[in-house]
């Protein structure tokens, strides 16, 4: 029994889980209101204390037939995964339905393909939360709704190379970070598996002292990291961290973005490039380092637009270095597409267009695409809600949805990648 904020005891209640929420929590009705019940599945009966719309101290009374043993011992404590306890078939159905529901809220009735399945232990890029306490370093993922870091000893989502590097990453954190107060916000450590080794970038609210700098460089060299960056400063780079976009090598800039898994990237690329076949000129908006621009250059001229200077420089260098691959011309333009979207008049010169914005989507840019004469459009998104909003703008402007494919790039989480293909 727990006390409420008003001092009255909070009694455990029996709840029935009626559905799965969009964030991977079970949903139950309590006094006419929806309660979010973590770690539960539809059809289950549970006992829990309820406060502020969430259930705590959950005890499963009657488990669902679809409940399975989670593979990871950290599940339920670590905030990285929310649905490891669900059988694969209903999990896939739920994840596809997230896209269907988002489209429905915008009045879009379109066929959504089956979910392209994710694979455990393949995530090549992960951002770990890091705390340095007097008793040692905690490195892992944050507990849901908290700054507490669950110090993971294993992970069934990330590439095993990242788990094996845990000792070196902790040593780096100890060298770079000061001892932090209990209330401190964790620093972050983004680690990417590249063809030439690990690329590590540490970020957070800390000052980098000269002794810390020297110690970190020594650890990076001993661990044979490709590169170590702290607060934007490259401390050590023994070799360029190289990634490959459909066989075209690119040196990843510090903090550069690539898709979380190679399989998901390939599925997205196949959809996009297949839709653009026959186009002579393609605009790639929010192009990053060239995930789509460089493969598209195998058959079309590409104009890549991106706000980050270092990403564009990496894309351009990768195109210029691929001299034996017979790529078509790729031009680049640095531009803040949120503040200054490419206009409909500018877009009229292209046969096809790809856009892959951040989670906020591309509302302003979508209006310009809708007003243009571009015949083929590929929209790539990690957020079904903003994707649906942008698709509503495009369909209102005369584009027809050809296909929508959800891709499970973020396994056992509520996050889903989607590729939508449209034509006039």
Where exactly are the structural domains of the chain? 2-67, 93-119+261-423, 125-241
- Count of residues making up the chain: 424
Other beta carbons within 10 angstroms of residue 253's beta carbon come to 23
- Closest to 356 measured CA to CA, from 291, 277, 422: 291
What pLDDT, on the 0 to 100 scale, is given for residue 6?
35
C-alpha–C-alpha distance, residues 187 and 133, integer Å: 12
- Closest to 411 measured CA to CA, from 189, 124, 64: 124
Confirm if 318 and 247 have CB atoms less than 8 A apart. Answer: no
The residues near 65 (Cβ < 8 Å, ≥ 6 apart) are: 43
CA neighbours closer than 13 Å in the CB half-sphere of residue 73: 4
- Closest to 247 measured CA to CA, from 316, 295, 312: 295
| Residue 280 structure tokens | 């002579």
Confirm if 289 and 253 have CB atoms less than 8 A apart. Answer: yes
| Residue 244 structure tokens | 């490959």
Confirm if 201 and 252 have CB atoms less than 8 A apart. Answer: no
C-alpha–C-alpha distance, residues 255 and 125, integer Å: 11
Choosing among 3.30.300.20, 2.40.50.140, 2.40.50.1070, 3.40.190.10, the CATH entry for 125-241 is 2.40.50.1070
Phi/psi of residue 330, nearest 5 degrees: -120, 120
The residues near 199 (Cβ < 8 Å, ≥ 6 apart) are: 191, 192, 225, 226, 227, 229, 241, 252, 254
C-alpha–C-alpha distance, residues 404 and 271, integer Å: 10
- Closest to 223 measured CA to CA, from 153, 159, 175, 155: 175
Which helix (H) or strand (E) segment holds residue 190: the answer is: strand 187-194
Runs of H (alpha helix) within 236-290: 262-276
DSSP secondary structure code for residue 79 in this structure:
S
**Which residues does residue 234 pair with via DSSP β-bridges, in sequence order?**
229
In the chain, which residues have pLDDT < 50? 1-9
Confirm if 224 and 172 have CB atoms less than 8 A apart. Answer: no
C-alpha–C-alpha distance, residues 217 and 209, integer Å: 12
C-alpha–C-alpha distance, residues 202 and 85, integer Å: 32
C-alpha–C-alpha distance, residues 292 and 285, integer Å: 10
What pLDDT, on the 0 to 100 scale, is given for residue 145?
74
Work out the burial of residue 232: count CB atoms within 10 Å of its CB; fewer than 13 is exposed, 13-18 middle, 19 or more buried: exposed
Answer yes or no: 382 catalytic: yes
| Residue 183 structure tokens | 């209330």
In this chain, the answer to whether the domains covering 2-67 and 93-119+261-423 adopt an identical fold is no
| Residue 231 structure tokens | 């607060």
- Closest to 3 measured CA to CA, from 45, 58, 57: 57
- 415: three-class secondary structure by DSSP: coil
What pLDDT, on the 0 to 100 scale, is given for residue 247?
96
Other beta carbons within 10 angstroms of residue 59's beta carbon come to 10
- 273: three-class secondary structure by DSSP: helix
The residues near 95 (Cβ < 8 Å, ≥ 6 apart) are: 115, 406, 408, 414, 416
C-alpha–C-alpha distance, residues 133 and 139, integer Å: 11
What pLDDT, on the 0 to 100 scale, is given for residue 286?
98
- CATH class name, domain 93-119+261-423: alpha beta
What pLDDT, on the 0 to 100 scale, is given for residue 26?
97
- CATH class name, domain 2-67: mainly beta
């Amino acid at each position: 029994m727990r006390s409420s904020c008003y001092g009255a005891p909070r009694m455990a209640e029996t709840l029935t889980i009626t559905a799965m929420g969009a964030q991977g929590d079970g949903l139950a009705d309590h006094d006419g209101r929806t309660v979010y019940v973590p770690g539960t599945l539809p059809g289950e009966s549970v006992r829990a204390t309820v406060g502020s719309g969430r259930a705590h101290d959950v005890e499963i009374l009657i488990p669902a037939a679809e409940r399975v043993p989670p593979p990871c011992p950290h599940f339920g404590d670590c905030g990285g995964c929310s649905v490891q306890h669900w059988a694969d078939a209903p999990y896939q159905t739920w994840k596809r339905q997230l896209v269907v529901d988002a489209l429905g809220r915008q009045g879009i009735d379109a066929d959504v393909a089956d979910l392209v399945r994710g694979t455990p232990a393949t995530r090549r890029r992960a951002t770990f939360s890091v705390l340095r306490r007097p008793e040692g370093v905690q490195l892992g993922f944050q507990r849901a709704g908290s700054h507490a870091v669950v110090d993971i000893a294993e992970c069934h989502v990330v590439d095993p190379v990242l788990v094996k590097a845990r000792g070196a990453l902790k040593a780096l954190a100890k060298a770079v970070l000061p001892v932090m107060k209990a209330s401190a916000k964790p620093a972050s450590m983004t680690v990417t598996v590249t063809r030439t080794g690990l690329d590590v970038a540490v970020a957070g609210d800390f000052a980098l002292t000269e002794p810390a700098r020297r110690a970190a460089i020594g650890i990076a060299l001993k661990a044979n990291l490709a590169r170590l960056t702290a607060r934007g400063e490259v401390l050590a780079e023994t070799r360029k961290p190289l990634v490959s976009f459909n066989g075209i090598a690119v040196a990843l800039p510090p903090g550069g973005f690539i898709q979380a898994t190679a399989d998901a990237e390939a599925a997205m690329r196949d959809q996009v490039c297949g839709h653009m076949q026959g186009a002579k000129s393609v605009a790639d908006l929010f192009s990053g380092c060239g995930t789509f621009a460089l493969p598209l250059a195998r058959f079309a001229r590409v104009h890549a637009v991106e706000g980050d200077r270092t990403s564009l420089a990496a894309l351009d260098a990768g195109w210029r270095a691929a001299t034996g691959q017979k790529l078509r011309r790729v031009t680049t333009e640095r531009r803040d597409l949120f503040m200054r979207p490419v206009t409909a008049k500018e877009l009229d010169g292209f046969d096809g267009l790809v856009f892959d914005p951040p989670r906020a989507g591309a509302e302003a840019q979508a209006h310009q695409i809708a007003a243009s004469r571009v015949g083929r459009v590929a929209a790539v998104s990690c957020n079904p809600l903003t994707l649906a909003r942008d698709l509503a703008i495009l369909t209102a402007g005369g584009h027809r949805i050809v296909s929508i494919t959800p891709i499970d790039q973020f396994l056992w989480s509520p996050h889903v990648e989607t590729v939508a293909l449209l034509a006039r």
